[in-house]
Chains A and B, each alone.
With several copies, the nearest count.
Chain A
């Protein structure tokens, strides 16, 4: 769990990881690398105030180099919201996230469909499973050129899609994608805020964290 200056949902994500039964390790963005880390979550928030472009500055923090290397070697990496933006800026994922069509920050409980239950982070879902998890961002509109989009669709790399109306203008209703190997996933909505019914819409988000746990235990 990496905390950049300006990360906001890091505590919440730590909590979600714990609820899923794993041992979360907080990482400070300035730290180079922690050898015993098995998976990385880049949390939501406004790293460096989201100035310039969301994630554009966080991408250059020391921790990112080693995370990029790890990801290339197959380590599971989940970027949530701002974390998704960082992964795109770091070119671990294709495309980019721009301002919502509505021009406004949007906070709402969003219906999404899991399109690929084959990734390290979605294995505990069924293909086509429908969830409700909070969405909250101002730059959540996913864009990429047609070729890239077709490639993503063709290779099943669209991980999640918005249902009941596209909240932010994302092309092809894309809410989340993954890299070719499926270990790196970027997601706009916040599963960590759907892990405890008392403070969120439900528990639909928990499997993201249990999935990776099983993947790691299985691998070990």
Chain B
């Protein structure tokens, strides 16, 4: 049993309205010094040790992320 973390973020060229909204909110909160916010998804999976990295990659780019608009990173 191991915990695997997959982070999914929008490709840089795709606009990210959620991140934008947060950035504006920061302004209203009067917080300085944050120049950009991007929001993505964070997955925590409990996987059996015999699960191959290849399987994890498959999970990430067929299900957890949509490669058309998103990039992902896997941390085992």
Contact = CB atoms under 8 A, between A and B. Distances in A.
A–B in direct contact per CB < 8 Å: yes
Interface of A: 48-49, 51-53, 56-57, 60-61, 88-89, 94-96, 98-103, 141, 143-145, 169
B17 A96 contact: no
Nearest to A55: B66
Contacts of B21: 48-49, 51-52, 57, 103
B46 to A, nearest CB: 17
Contacts of B15: 101, 143, 169
Given A98-B10, A101-B17, A143-B14, 7 more contacts: A48-B21, A49-B21, A52-B25, A60-B63, A96-B66, A98-B14, A141-B17
A161 to B, nearest CB: 19
A48 B21 CA distance: 7
17 contacts: A49-B18, A51-B18, A51-B21, A52-B25, A52-B64, A57-B25, A60-B63, A88-B68, A89-B66, A96-B68, A98-B10, A98-B14, A98-B69, A100-B17, A101-B15, A102-B17, A143-B15
Contacts of B69: 96, 98, 143
B5 to A, nearest CB: 16
B68 A52 contact: no
Q: Label chain A's interface by main secondary structure.
A: loop
A98 B9 CA distance: 13
A145 B14 CA distance: 8
B73 interface: no
Contact of A60 (B14, B28, B68): B28
B29 interface: yes
Interface in B3-30: 10, 13-15, 17-18, 21-22, 25, 28-29
A96 B21 CA distance: 20
A53 B21 CA distance: 11
Contacts of A145: 13
Max chain B C-beta neighbours (<10 A), residue from A102, A103, A143, A169: A143
A144 B39 CA distance: 19
B55 to A, nearest CB: 16
Max chain B C-beta neighbours (<10 A), residue from A56, A88, A102, A145: A56
Contact of A103 (B17, B28, B66): B17
Given A99-B17, A143-B14, A53 B66 contact: yes
A49 B17 CA distance: 9
